[in-house]
Amino acid sequence: MIYIGIDIAKRGHVASAVGEDGKAVVESFRFNNTAGGFSKFLAKLKKAGADAERSLIGMEATGHYWIALFDFLGAHGYDAAVINPIQTDAFRDVWTVRKVKTDAIDAAMIADLVRYKRYSPSALGDEATEELRSLARYRMSLVDRSTALKNRATAVLDRVFPELAGLFGDAYCPTHRELLQHCATPDQVLATDVRTLARILREASRGKCGREKAEELKKAAKESVGVSFGSRALALEVRLLMEELDFVKDQIKEVEAELAVLLDRTSGKWLLTIPGIDVALASVIAGEIGDPDRFDGPHKLMGYAGMDPTRSESGDTVSSDGHMSKRGPGTLRWALMMAADCARKRDPYFGDYYSAKKGTGKKHHYVALSGVARKLMGVCLAVMKEGRPYEPTPPKNHRPGHLKDA
């Protein structure tokens, strides 16, 4: 058997190969992240006798740069194992004590790690799950952009019209956003006829606001302590920020509609039956978990998500500070914590568990919520593996172990 290690990078990769005895079969060499580079890589392997039947390739999960090569290798019959960088970092400390890190050394080290651990070949998820993961992450980036736009607009409005936010329950509801595109400063409000203001508010709020709110705006503008110096430029900035915010919100809606379609094609659709989990959270959880059958039980998933508690054992002493290891995808942990906070408010099964955790030793909210998230994670895995809707009381044919306390 020949073991090949590949150090992944954006524009090019470095490969090295070793035999069963750990001796180099192919010295480290560089090849481009192109069709020509991939062909060069295969030619080198075949020249050394490393055909698909007697080879195992290992590569780090570095960003998304490994996916094209992984797909290419699979198409040519090669098995490849995608390795968590945490494992390669830990093995590096064992493999060499020298404080030297080069691409060539890393490739040789990965090849030796594959030889030592004999990894099982990895596999890409089904197309719908891969699309779900990608689109769910993109939605999160749009939400981050939306938050950044709101924060920037708030910073400007705090200077020019600090009283405005107090007139609306939601600082960036559709009515407020529409108003800011017409009147973002006290001077602009005072210069606009009250009937025009009432019409803008009435149309934007679908009749919920009108003349009364317009008169409140006039009064607030007249008494405002906002700075008028440079307010014209700042008003333009706010208007453009609101236009961009409207655009981003429309994009989020479009992405969520597509996520709902993709979710229905995966086992993640059953997550929607759990109280508090909407399309956005279900898409993140299902996308990050991928194929649920690759996890034997909730504890395997807990370790993958980095929600397992840190643990130290020495002799007869075993200690744990209760903190999560956080050595997995942070996006999955975030989604589970958010879903747990919603579920404990909407479902007695999780609510009672939260109360029990909170009452035991008067634990902090987030400590109790982490416990709920671990329990919820087991439930998510169960409904995805078993292809059934959520039930507060597990059915008789439920697989043992999935709903045990984490």
Q: What is the DSSP letter of 92?
A: H
Strand, helix or coil at 390? coil
List the pLDDT tens digit at each of the 406 positions of the chain: 899 999 999 999 999 999 998 899 989 999 999 999 999 999 999 898 888 988 999 998 877 788 899 999 999 999 999 887 777 877 876 676 566 678 888 899 999 999 988 788 877 666 788 899 999 999 999 999 999 999 999 999 999 999 998 898 888 999 999 999 999 999 999 999 999 999 999 999 999 999 999 999 999 999 999 998 989 999 999 999 999 999 999 999 999 999 999 999 999 999 999 999 999 999 999 999 988 988 888 888 998 888 887 654 544 444 445 577 777 788 999 999 999 999 999 998 899 889 888 887 667 888 899 999 999 999 999 999 999 999 876 556 555 444 444 4
pLDDT reported for residue 398: 54
Is the distance from CB of 364 to CB of 388 less than 8 angstroms? Answer: no
Dig out the tokens for 379 from the structure.
């439930």
The sign one gets for the Cα dihedral 197, 201, 206, 210 is negative
Element (H, E) at 58: strand 55-60
Q: What is the pLDDT of residue 394?
A: 58
pLDDT at 201: 94
What DSSP letter does each residue of 135-172 carry, written as one string?
Answer: HHHHHHHHHHHHHHHHHHHHHHHHHH-TTGGGG-SSTT
Note the pTM of the prediction, 2 decimals: 0.75
Residue 324 pLDDT: 76
Residue 26: enclosing H or E segment and its boundaries? strand 24-32
How are strands ordered across the β-sheet holding 12-18? 24-32, 12-18, 2-7, 55-60, 80-83
pLDDT score of 171? 83
All domains in the chain, ordered by first residue: 2-117 (3.30.420.40), 129-261 (1.10.287.4070), 267-386 (no CATH)
